[in-house]
Amino acid sequence: MAIHPDAGKIAPHDSLVNIPALVAAYYRQQPDIKASPDQKVSFGTSGHRGSALKTTFNEHHIMAICQAIAEYRKAHGVTGPLYLGKDTHALSEAAFGTALEVLIANGVRVRVQEGDGYTPTPVISHAILTHNALGEDIADGIVITPSHNPPEDGGIKYNSLKGGPADQDITNWIAQRANQLLESELEDAEWLPAEELNASPLIEPFDYIAHYVDDLDSVIDMDAIAKAGIKIGVDPMGGSGLHFWKPIAEKYNLNIEVVNDKVDFTFGFMPLDKDGRIRMDCSSSYAMQNLLALKDKFDISIGNDPDYDRHGIVCAGSGLMNPNAYLAVAIEYLATHRPQWSDDIQFGKTLVSSAMIDRVVEGLGKTLCEVPVGFKWYVEGLFSGEMAFGGEESAGASFLRKDGSVWTTDKDGIILGLLAAEILAITGKDPHELYEAQVSRYGRPIYKRIDVPCSAEQKSVLSSLSADSVAGDTLAGDAITGILTEAPGNGASIGGLKVQTANGWFAARPSGTENIYKIYLESFVSEDHLAQLESDAKALVDRALG
């Protein structure tokens, strides 16, 4: 994909989404899933997402989803509070109100941020887990967010009693029931008029900020950061964690400067991403230009997406770290600086994350657990304490508390940012310097992801390929050492194909929302070798698709 000429520049005013029109569409446009199947409720790797302007994320969708969740809770004996959070997308505000109207009408106790504030995804996970550890009743949660998606998008995801994204059996049931409700025009949906909500005792204000912030020193060495005087710059990027940083700085005596305190539903302060769209992607150097311009003012700088499940790490002098590189450094540091963790604990990565992680984990003498794309695959391991760390190439990760018990089972951009400061405080080297040391030991990987147009039928074929679909025994001049259609870590289908050699690999998997398939590539040799990998990968997939 060609880089847009305005990538990295502040979005022009005439490109900003019309918020009144967007919110009006949320309430006015109603999905017709029989005539337009693309308007159905569909849970991907991170819940249901869409836009009111395309009639894929509207009031009726949220009513149907929340009614289905209420019915699921009742059927499975979930009697505790539901922890409800929202991010700073305009549709999140509208969907939050709808969710309350339906959940309260169904008799669900709902805990919301006091003062009607915003709540990051990891904070909801943390609240569920700490509640359920008390053993009194069972809680779960909903986060209303489309993650880093553009301002016109909305999203909603359900977190189970284990704190993380609900597994596929649960989300399939919720989606199926929600679509039944849509087909019946919400005949069986309960709903409470907004004016009656304020009087309901089922809405319980909750101090999410203090509950989370006061517990941070159980997972991060906050004393070390304070004693080292690490200067930390934070760009909340208009997201849900904006009001967490001041309490963090005050409680732990940290030198933190928030460089942007704006909440703007258009996200008009954002530099455009590589394709010319506004996207709050903290792993993109184009979207992170505001913070990168200040990088030399701080020792470590942190950016996060709107729901704070992703992290962008900026080191003074060197700039924004590649997400894969930071995951490799974080794993090595944690494995050698958490003495209370079990020696045989696992470290998790997705199949499309860098093979540098494989080499680092092997060099540590630790166990790697490789899973399909989606953080839901880490929930059980993090919950049980059998997995120390789970990370994704898209800049999302979480890890255990210092004592080896669960912290969150959803991605946590706050602790990954603070970990970068801890690493510098303890080692005297920033994560970029430590990554260069890894490169000197294991080689320098060159990583790339591309999108290739394909039909819905081809997507279906790709998701069900077998190892027999691969013709030939070499890739980019090297012998093929592995062909995967299932993840080695848990045997789950990867919904595509991964082919490995000693010097590189590629993976191909269909998009869950667009008529494209994604190819992930990595070479430990050179840019020319990466180009040959790309050429061979496209040819191999084309042959398999017929």
- Which are the catalytic amino acids? 147
Any residues with CB less than 8 A from the CB of 198 and at least 6 apart, and which? none
Residue ranges of alpha helices (H) inside 338-409 are: 355-364, 379-384
Question: What is the rounded distance in angstroms from the CA atom of residue 481 to the CA atom of residue 498?
Answer: 11
To which residue do tokens 């249901």 refer?
48
Question: What is the rounded distance in angstroms from the CA atom of residue 95 to the CA atom of residue 374?
Answer: 24
Cβ 328 vs Cβ 354: under 8 Å:
yes
Beta bridge partners of 484: 498
The alpha carbons of the chain give a radius of gyration, in whole angstroms, of 23
Cβ 409 vs Cβ 161: under 8 Å:
no
Q: Token pair for residue 84?
A: 């409800």
Question: What is the rounded distance in angstroms from the CA atom of residue 200 to the CA atom of residue 378?
Answer: 36
Q: What angle do CA 305, 308, 310 make, to 5 degrees?
A: 65
Dump the DSSP string for 245-270.
HHHHHHHHT-EEEES-----TT-TTS
Any residues with CB less than 8 A from the CB of 535 and at least 6 apart, and which? none
Question: What is the rounded distance in angstroms from the CA atom of residue 187 to the CA atom of residue 181?
Answer: 7
Q: Token pair for residue 32?
A: 């017709």
Ranges of beta strands (E only) in 122-163 are 140-144, 153-159
Q: Token pair for residue 259?
A: 């460089």
Q: 381 vs 110, 361, 376, CA distance in Å? A: 28, 17, 10
